[in-house]
Structures are given as structure tokens and as C-alpha cells.
Chain A
Amino acid sequence: MDLSFSEKDEAFRQEVISFLDENWPADQRGKVEFNKETYLDWHKKLHAKGWVAPAWPEEYGGTGWTPTQRYIFDQEMAKAETFPSLAFNTSMVGPVIYTFGSPEQKERFLPPTLSADIWWCQGYSEPGSGSDLASLRTKAVREGDHYIVNGSKTWTTFAQHADWIFCLVRTDPDVKKQQGISFLLIDMKTPGVTVRPIITLGGDHEVNEVFLEDVKVPVENLIGEENMGWTYAKFLLMHERSNIAAVHQSKRYLERLKEVAANDDLAGHGPKMSDDPDFIKKVSEIEIDLTALEFTELRSLANEEAGKGPGAESSILKIRGTELQQRISHLAVELAGYYALPYQRNLGHNEYPAGPEHTVDAAAHYFNGRKTSIYGGTNEIQRNIIAKAVLGL
């Protein structure tokens, strides 16, 4: 057992750091507004460098890094507070296409997926099928060279930006629910596809409903075999859960809160939160729990390095990772005091918020962050997975 990274790994870290210094300069960290343009811009910078999808096989554009190098990369990205790459592309549909797609599909879709010339969204959940995903009812009926798709998807993140959607659809209603599902790629511009925004607490527009009405999808957009979609979906969910712990993002966020709490100018003549024993206790508890999470993640990384794939322990990372994100975002609300109350997210260019900068998004961020224990399989479902798959209960 040894905690230090090899010389080679440290050299690699330096390479990552200098790339980030150049392309995501220190003075913009934590300040870049998140929108389609800035997100794509960053994705494309990573792509130009060849680093946008480290986990992919090299032949499709991956980096060939070891899991440790990937970990270092994630860590440095988080420290620099960059955006992630477009996860729907790099962690979700991309791996499905290169694993299960035909040679033609790989050729057609992998390059624009890697470069984000296609922005993908994930069409799994439906109004009636959340935790029980396999009960989904969106129907695809084969007619000649096409599938005719009818149904609706919901909670589709960034469907408003997306060019394509990868969907789970029911192609055989007469078999066990997991066995009649197929994996279809659908161009969002196809007639019959409509998107309706869902606004979440605090006013964000991240998720949508996607209605599919007699949508004609060429059969060549079917991934793998008809009725094998559940296998591909499960494969994808495994990938979706990697880096779900967000340890380094949480550490960075906590550091920012500590800076605010200790800032003399912000405190003025008033009490300073960094002197408040209750605040200190919460920060230290979070730090210690984050360390437990970090080393759980490192152990799972070591397993992966030894050739054992990410197993059910990724559910531990999801549970604790999201709980910690939520605790930190509540701490931000506490730090904001009365200024957590004003809703001032729609200010014009010459308008200033009533309270200090750190207070503006605190409450909205906390409310929005309740999603993390719901999406990607709720934390109750994650516990069910551990109970069954790890504990054999």
C-alpha cells in the first residue's frame, strides 16, 4: 500500500495543470456562466486537445490513460472548476455506440458525438416509468424501413439544446417487460418531436418533456438487436455512474464557502462565520466524510485498475457523494443568512444584487441540488441495489 503517485503520474498531472491554466484561466474559475455556448466551447477545447473522452478506446478517440491518470485528470478539472465534457455524449451514448453499434453507426455517429457536433440527450424516463424504468411504454412499431414511434419522455435534461435523443422504446409488448425494449437514435428535427420545458425550484430550465407523435425513425438508427435495449441501457447506467461521487467538486465548493466565511470585509463589524463553532463543526464533519468518500473511490479505482470493473460499490459513491453535495449546498444557505431570501437571479446588466455575490444563488442551488439524490437512480434505488447485489439480501 502506498499513497504517493508515481513520477510518471506526477508529470502527467503537471501536463494537465498547464493545459488548464492556458485554457481555463484562473481568473475565470467559478465565474463562467453555464449555457449552451460556453458548455460547447469547453467541450470543443477538450476535443481539440484529444482529452474529451479519456475512457473511450483509443481507436475511437480515447486517450489510453490508466484509471489513475483519469482520476488525476478529473481531480484537476474539478480543482479548476471547469465544466465537465458533455456527459450524454462521452459517458452515455458514445460507449453504447462503440460497444454495440454497427460499423456504419460507429462511422456516422462517433466523430460528431466526440466533437459534440451532435448534442445528445437521454430519453429513458417517462411519466409512468421512473424508478421502474423497464415499465416504459413509448412504442415503436416497425413499418417497412422505419419505426413509427409514439409516446412521451420526461425529465430529459437539456432536450432544448439537443440535436439527437437516444431513446428506450418498447418494440414487443407481449414479453417480460425487460425483454421487449429497444435502443433507438432519433433526430430531434424529425416531424412529430416536440419539447416542453419543465421549470424546477429556483427557476432553472434544465429538464423537459419530449413528446413523440408518429415519429418516423429509419431502422438503421436501431442500436444492436431489436428487443435487446435493456442490456444496452444497463451497460450505459454503469457508465453514467462513474465520477458520480464528485469528491473534488465538493471539496472545491467547500473551500469557497470557507473563504467566504473567513472574509473580513464580508463580515464587517458583524460576526464572522469562521468563528462560529457550529459552522466549524459542520465544515469539519463534511471534510472528514469527504475523505471517507475519496478513499472509497480510490479503492474502487484500484479495483478497476486490477481489472475488476466498476461494481455495485459505485452505488456507495452515488449515495454519499450526493448527500455531501446537498449538505454543502445547505451550508451555503446558512452562510447567506437573510440574503438567502431575495430572488435576484434575473437582474439586468446594470443592476446589482442586494446581498453579496455568494448569496445570490445559494438558496436556488440548494433547492436545485435536491435532484442529485433523485436522478441517475434515486438513493433509495441505490440502496436496493447494494442490498441485493452486494449484501445478497
Chain B
Amino acid sequence: MNFEFTEEQQMLRESLARFLREKYDFETRQKIIASDNGWSRDTWAQFAEMGLMAAAFPEEFDGFGGTAVDLSVIMEEFGRGLVVEPYLPTVVLAGGVLRHTGGELAKDLIAQISAGDLVMGLGFAEPQGRYDLFHVETKAEKQGDEYVLSGRKAVVLAANIADKLIIAARTSGNIRDEDGISLFLIDKDTDGLTVEGYPTIDGLQAGDVILDKVKVPAASLVGEEGKAYPVLEAVIDKAIIALAAEAMGVCQKICDLTGEYTRSREQFGTPIAQFQVLQHRMVDMFIFKEEMTSMTYMAVMKADTEGHDTRVAASMAKVQLGKSCKFIGESAVQLHGGMGITEEMAVGHYFMHATMMDTLFGNGDFHQKRYERLTGLRAA
């Protein structure tokens, strides 16, 4: 057993941390969010130059990493810097699918992602499906050498800023069957496809994707027809583990900010950090942060080692994420008093993102039940 990072991983972390410190402070982030696009292509290009995208893919895709540990190093720093650029949807989600399904097309697209030339999104959720990946009402019908897609995908991260999307649609079976789901690669400017775009409350870009008889060539099928469910599940589980690493960075940063604030804020003639109830609360925040870190490492290492059920590991990490983010976020705001709920202070923005990370890919309750089913505690 070994909790050490490799030299390459440490170098990557250091250069990313330095970049974010120097070029992506809180004010810069807020300016980026308020800009027309809501994200920075410039920053994106620099991420590519630093090799952050290539680090997420193995050698067969001309990458130089691709392990869960590699990804966690990047995501943790993104969490600390509260980065809004579409790394998760492009690299982890869409890139994850491409890497999983493989082939020439995937290789080509991953090369473009690695170069920073391509932004993508993955449409897997539906308005009434909550967090069930198998709930797919969107239909894809084969007509000659085309598929025709109709339906609606909910809250697709980066949908409004992406160049291409991967969309889950049903080629056979019933609305809530695991079998019969397929994935399609679609250009954003394809006829019949519209994106109702919006920012998310925590500063990301997203949109609902509406497909109205969208025609795509048969070659747009990504992976095998009707067999996408296990692909989606595996990709989302990896994304959850990446998100756990991001949450670890967010939690760490919130704890730091709260410590700094309570040490400098004085009331009753003393720094409020001197009040024992606040100390105990900060100790509990610290414990929750440590647990988040432990569970992230657990999940990351299991994902990289043969013989473990990544699904169980991902669900455990996601349950921890829900608990840690809620306690740490709410406590931090409380300890900042009125300052905690202003848009001017960074801490509130970390809190909002922490809250929304619980929702993404299924909240704590959802993954608690999934854990119970996977481990046989609950009937399937």
C-alpha cells in the first residue's frame, strides 16, 4: 500500500496550482462567469498546453496518464480554485465514453480534446428520470442508414457551449429498461437540435437539449447499439470519483477560508475563533474534510486496482461527498455570519458549488440506496 503521488503527478499538481493561484483568483473567476460566454477559452487553451487533458487519457490515445489518480490530482486543484471551465463534461464524461468505446473516431476526437480544440457534453439525464441512468425516453429510430432522434435531455453540462454532444437515446425496449440504450455523437448545429442554455446557480454552463427528429448517419453510433447502459454506468462512476476529488479540494478550501476569517474577525473584543463552540464546529468541519479525503483516496485506488467493484466505491464516495459538503458548506456560512451569504465573498460560492455537487450524478440518498443494493443489504 502506498499513498504517494508519482513525481509526474506532483509536478502536474504544482504547475496547475501555481497557474490557478496566479491567473485564476476569485475575482478573475467571477469576471469569467459574468462574461458573455461564461467560461474562458483562453484558460482552456492553457489547460491543454499544460497537458491537463492529455493527462486524463492513456497512451493508446496519445495521452500520458489516464488513471483515476491522475484525474484526482487535477480535479482536486480545480475544486480548490473553483474552476468553471468544462473539463468534467468534455474530458471526464464525453472523453470517458470515447475512451471506453474506442475506435478510430474516438481516437480522433480525443486528440482534438487533448489539443484543447473541442468542447463536448454528455446528455444522459432526462426530465423525469431523476438519477436513474436507465431512464431513457428519448428515442432513436433506425431509418435506412440514418438514426432519427427525438426527446429531451435534462441539464446537460456544457450543452450550450459544446461543439459536439454525446446523447443517450433508446433504440429498443421500454422507458426504464437497462437494455436498448445507445449513444450517438451529434454536432451541435445539426438540424432539429436546440439547446435551451443557462448558467447553473454555481456558475457552470449547461442546457436542456431538445431533439426534434434529428437525423444522424449510422456511423454516429458510439459503441454498440442497445448496449450503452454499462458504458454510462462505468463512465459516471469514474466521474463521481473525479467529483469526489474536486469536493475534497472544495472542502479543504472552505475550511481554510473559515479558519482565516474567524481568526481575523473580532467581536466582544476577541477573535471569534476563540469561542469554543466555533472551535468545535471547525473541528467537525475538519473531520468531515478528512473523511472526504480518505474516501476519495479509497475510491481512486480501488478504481485503479483490479478486483474491486468500482460501483460500490463510487457510491460510498458520493455518500461521503453529500455529507461532507453539506456540513462544511453550511457551517462555513454560519461562521462567517452575514458575510457568508454575500456574493462578494468567495466562501458562499464554494458553498453553492458544494451543494450542487451533491445533486450531480445522484445525491447522497440515491447512492446510499445504490450501495445497499450493490452489497445485498437491500433487495435489488
Contacts and interface: CB of A to CB of B under 8 A. Distances in A.
Contact of A343 (B198, B208, B268, B351): B198
A374 B198 contact: no
A200 B132 contact: no
Which of A201, A271, A338, A373 has the most CB atoms of chain B within a 10 A radius of its CB?
A338
Interface string A325-356: 01000100110011111111000000000110
A198 interface: yes
Given A132-B267, A340-B359, A341-B356, A270 B128 contact: yes
Contacts of B355: 333, 363, 366-367
Interface in A2-44: none
21 contacts: A128-B266, A130-B267, A200-B348, A201-B342, A201-B352, A202-B201, A207-B338, A266-B128, A333-B359, A338-B154, A338-B155, A341-B206, A342-B155, A354-B196, A363-B356, A367-B352, A368-B341, A370-B330, A370-B340, A378-B334, A380-B278
B201 A269 contact: no
B117 interface: no
Contacts of B278: 380
Interface in A351-393: 354-355, 363-364, 366-368, 370-371, 373-375, 378-380, 383
A338 B338 CA distance: 28
B282 to A, nearest CB: 13
Interface in A297-351: 326, 330, 333-334, 337-344
Given A200-B342, A341-B359, A270 B135 contact: yes
Given A131-B337, A201-B349, A370-B341, 17 more contacts: A129-B267, A135-B268, A201-B342, A201-B352, A202-B201, A202-B352, A203-B343, A269-B175, A270-B135, A276-B365, A338-B360, A342-B201, A354-B154, A354-B208, A370-B340, A371-B341, A379-B334
A200 B341 contact: yes
B177 to A, nearest CB: 12
Contacts of A383: 277
Given A380-B277, A383-B277, A201 B351 contact: yes
A389 to B, nearest CB: 17
Contacts of A202: 201, 352
A266 B128 CA distance: 7
B132 A270 contact: yes
B93 interface: no
Contacts of B338: 125, 130, 154-155, 207, 371, 374-375
Interface residues of B, number: 55
B341 A374 contact: yes
Nearest to A330: B326
Interface of B: 125-132, 135, 137, 154-155, 175-176, 196, 198-202, 204, 206-208, 266-269, 272, 275, 277-278, 326, 330, 333-334, 337-338, 340-344, 348-349, 351-352, 355-356, 359-360, 363, 365, 368-369
Contacts of A270: 126, 128-130, 132, 135
A1 to B, nearest CB: 36
B191 to A, nearest CB: 22
Nearest to A362: B201
Interface in A169-207: 198-203, 207
Contacts of B342: 198-201
Given A343-B201, A374-B338, A378-B337, A337 B131 contact: yes
A266 B129 CA distance: 11
A306 B169 CA distance: 68
Nearest to A366: B355
Interface residues of A, number: 53
A129 B268 CA distance: 9
A267 interface: yes
B268 A341 contact: no
Where chain B touches its partner, the secondary structure class is mixed
Interface string A270-308: 110000101100000000000000000000000000000
9 interchain residue pairs of minimum CB distance: A270-B128, A268-B128, A132-B267, A338-B155, A278-B365, A341-B200, A354-B208, A343-B201, A342-B198
Nearest to A352: B196
Contact of B341 (A131, A341, A344, A367): A367
B154 A370 contact: no
B198 A354 contact: yes
A339 B268 contact: no
Which of B131, B269, B338, B349 has the most CB atoms of chain A within a 10 A radius of its CB?
B338
A339 B365 contact: no
A201 B137 contact: no
Contact of A342 (B200, B272, B275, B348): B200
Which of A199, A337, A373, A375 has the most CB atoms of chain B within a 10 A radius of its CB?
A337
A375 B340 CA distance: 12
Contacts of B154: 338-339, 354-355
B128 A267 contact: yes
A191 B193 CA distance: 57
A198 B345 CA distance: 11
A159 B146 CA distance: 61
Contacts of A278: 365, 368-369
A339 B363 CA distance: 13
Nearest to B272: A131
A355 B352 contact: no
Given A271-B132, A363-B201, A366-B355, A354 B155 contact: yes
Nearest to A268: B128
A131 B268 CA distance: 8
A201 B359 CA distance: 18
Contact of B337 (A340, A342, A367, A374): A374
